């Protein structure tokens, strides 16, 4: 019985990971990203509504997540490639991630974008109660969620989509 439940949960997680991005990106109507506020490691503050006019990548991650650590160089490269065109990235460290680890990771790898620690879990909750990392959202210039990635995205496809969104009026 427990094995059956475990298999059902695994199948559900797999379906979410593989179909979730397709279902969200296939919708004609885009939903607004939650208007969350954050404090970056350097103490500066930001808010989602203040990002209107930019294409934004919001990445939920943890220093203990091997896929997160593996994809971070590609997220950095994506940020560098598009930042001059009105693109920004926010890396949101999960509430369970020790702040000292997050700070050390960001500094040692010289992350070129904002890093916030979601101490209370309020940002993850606002984006749909995010529990799996990495989970990444692509938000258009109007503040609408275009695509959700659970797991590492296909970066070639992501770059193509970012280019299309940056070209939108």
pLDDT of residue 5: 35
CA 91 and chain centroid, separation: 7
75 contacts 57 by C-beta, under 8 angstroms: yes
Ordered alpha helix ranges (H), the chain = 2-26, 66-82, 99-108, 122-126, 155-167
Question: Using 50, 70 and 90 to split pLDDT, how confident is the model at 21?
Answer: very low
Percent of the chain with pLDDT over 70: 83
Q: Which residues on adjacent β-strands are paired with residue 40? A: 116
pLDDT, tens digit (0-9, with 9 covering 90-100), for 130-155? 999 999 999 999 999 999 999 999 99
Question: What mean pLDDT is reported for the chain?
Answer: 87
The domains of the chain are located at: 2-167
Give dist(CA 113, CA 110) in Å, integer. Answer: 9
Q: Which CATH number fits domain 2-167: 3.40.30.10, 3.30.70.1520, 3.30.365.10, 3.90.650.10?
A: 3.40.30.10
For strand 55-61 and strand 87-93, is the pairing parallel, antiparallel, or unpaired? parallel
pLDDT of residue 169: 80
pLDDT of residue 30: 80
Q: Is the pLDDT confidence value at 22 over 70? A: no
pLDDT, tens digit (0-9, with 9 covering 90-100), for 41-73? 999 999 999 999 999 999 999 999 999 999 999
Q: Is the pLDDT confidence value at 86 over 70? A: yes
Q: What are phi and psi of 75, to 5 degrees?
A: -65, -40
**Residue 85 corresponds to which tokens in the numbers above?**
């065109």
**Residue 126 corresponds to which tokens in the numbers above?**
């606002």
């Amino acid at each position: 019985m427990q094995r059956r439940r475990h298999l059902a949960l695994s199948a559900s997680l797999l379906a979410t990971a593989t179909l979730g991005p397709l279902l969200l990106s296939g919708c004609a109507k885009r939903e607004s990203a939650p208007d969350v506020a954050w404090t970056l490691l350097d103490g500066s503050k930001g808010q989602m509504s203040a990002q209107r006019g930019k294409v934004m990548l919001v990445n939920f991650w943890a220093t203990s997540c091997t896929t997160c650590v593996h994809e971070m160089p590609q997220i950095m490269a994506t940020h560098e490639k598009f930042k001059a065109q009105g693109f920004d990235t926010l890396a949101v460290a999960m509430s369970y991630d020790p702040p000292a680890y997050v700070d050390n990771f960001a500094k040692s790898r010289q992350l070129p974008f904002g890093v916030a620690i979601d101490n209370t879990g309020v940002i993850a909750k606002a984006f749909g109660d995010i529990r799996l990392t990495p989970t990444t959202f692509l938000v258009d210039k109007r503040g609408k969620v275009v695509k959700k990635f659970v797991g590492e995205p296909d970066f070639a496809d992501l770059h193509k989509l970012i280019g299309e969104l940056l070209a939108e009026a």
